[in-house]
């Protein structure tokens, strides 16, 4: 299976690159709205690059593309910025070692130590996936004890709460924003040609990274409040996939036919 069915220009030579979150953003909106965006991307692969920037792990990404009909990205920033990878012709997400060395060093195999420190902590339920460079929990707001945040900081790591239901422990200074900037620079993509799209607080660092950005219409209130005053961030009215198309047109990043 060759997931990139036709030869394409290198991503740095394309007119526009979309760097998008998945849940609520690329996967948001109605079925017809998602189809309009996905079909438009596939019809313009010579001029449109696609990067997924997500809290999801590579296995989920591959499953969605293989079984749910998502356009295959060329690159992935996954695991809330702790994975930076390219997508092979056979549909495998392969980390780029040169871009992950610092992440691995900052994490320093801390998973067991973090899990031990937060074991049984009120309002946090450990997610079953054993991520490489992060530890993630489901968060129950009614019972959550915010002392977890101080514990994580004292260990030398960052914490992130998103959508008021997820709690991530990350290497210091690592998140979606720094990682997408590092990937864009590594690939030689002109920053003026990139649009970042998101909808929750784990997208904040990406949306305020200095790249053009859109908070889609269904974004969580905490995110839209934090984005106040950032001139390079477009606040879409449309939800999910339709909000992405709205922003592409608003920034005049690529031609979009009427009706798409």
- Pinpoint the alpha helices (H) of the chain: 31-43, 58-67, 97-107, 111-117, 147-154, 176-187, 204-207, 221-226, 240-250
pLDDT at 205: 97
Q: Does residue 2 carry a pLDDT above 70?
A: no
User: Which tokens belong to 236?
Assistant: 């879409």
pLDDT in tens, 131-141: 999 999 999 99
**Is 98 a residue whose pLDDT tops 90?**
yes
Within 13 A of 114's CA, how many CA atoms are on the CB side?
31
Length of the chain: 260
State the burial class of residue 73 (Cβ atoms within 10 Å of its Cβ: 0-12, 13-18, 19+).
buried
Domain architecture of the chain: domains with CATH? 11-102+174-250 (3.40.50.1000), 109-170 (3.90.1070.10)
Q: What's the predicted TM-score (pTM) here?
A: 0.95
Task: Find out whether 62 and 72 touch, Cβ atoms under 8 Å.
Answer: no
Which pLDDT does position 258 carry in this prediction? 79
Mean pLDDT of the chain: 95
- CA nearest to 39, candidates 241, 216, 250: 241
Residue 187 in tokens: 């690939």
pLDDT in tens, 182-229: 999 999 999 999 999 999 999 999 999 999 999 999 999 999 999 999
- In this prediction, residue 6 has a pLDDT band, given cuts at 50, 70 and 90, of low
195 φ, ψ (degrees, to nearest 5)? -125, 125
Query: Hey, how many other C-beta atoms are within 10 angstroms of the C-beta on 112?
Result: 10
Q: What is the pLDDT of residues 49-78, one digit of tens each?
A: 999 999 998 889 999 999 988 999 999 999
pLDDT at position 7:
79
Q: Return the SS3 of 120.
A: coil
Residue 221: what pLDDT? 95
pLDDT at 254 > cutoff 60: yes
Report helix, strand or coil for 203. Answer: helix
Rounded to the nearest 5°, which phi and psi values hold at 253?
-85, -20
Distance CA 91, CA 151 (A): 39
- What pLDDT was estimated at residue 1? 47
- Where does the pLDDT of residue 104 fall: very low under 50, low under 70, confident under 90, or very high at 90 and above? very high
Distance (Å) of CA 52 to CA 81, 134, 222 = 11, 18, 22
Among the listed residues 78, 60, 45, 30, the one whose alpha carbon sits nearest the alpha carbon of residue 238: 30
Is residue 158's pLDDT more than 70? yes
């Amino acid at each position: 299976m060759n997931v990139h069915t036709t030869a394409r220009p290198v991503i740095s030579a394309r007119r526009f690159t979309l760097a998008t979150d998945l849940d609520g953003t690329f996967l948001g909106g109605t079925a017809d709205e998602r189809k309009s965006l996905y079909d438009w991307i596939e019809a313009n692969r010579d001029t449109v690059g696609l990067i997924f920037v997500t809290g999801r792990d590579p296995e989920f990404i591959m499953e969605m593309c293989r079984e749910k009909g998502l356009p295959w990205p060329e690159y992935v920033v996954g695991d809330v910025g702790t994975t930076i990878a390219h997508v092979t012709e056979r549909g495998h997400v392969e980390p780029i070692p040169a871009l992950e060395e610092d992440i691995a060093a900052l994490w320093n195999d801390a998973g067991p130590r973090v899990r031990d420190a937060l074991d049984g902590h009120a309002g946090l339920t450990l997610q079953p996936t054993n991520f490489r460079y992060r530890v993630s929990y489901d968060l129950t707001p009614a019972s959550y004890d915010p002392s977890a945040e101080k514990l994580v900081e004292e260990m030398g790591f960052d914490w992130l709460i998103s959508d008021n239901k997820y709690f991530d422990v990350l290497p210091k200074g690592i998140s979606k924003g720094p990682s997408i900037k590092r990937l864009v620079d590594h690939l030689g993509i002109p920053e003026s040609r990139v649009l970042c799209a998101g909808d929750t607080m784990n997208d904040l660092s990406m949306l305020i990274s200095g790249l053009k950005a859109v908070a889609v219409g269904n974004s969580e209130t905490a995110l839209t409040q934090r984005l106040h005053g950032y001139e390079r961030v477009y606040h879409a009215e449309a939800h999910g996939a339709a909000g992405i198309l709205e922003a592409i047109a608003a920034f005049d990043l690529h031609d979009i036919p009427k009706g798409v």
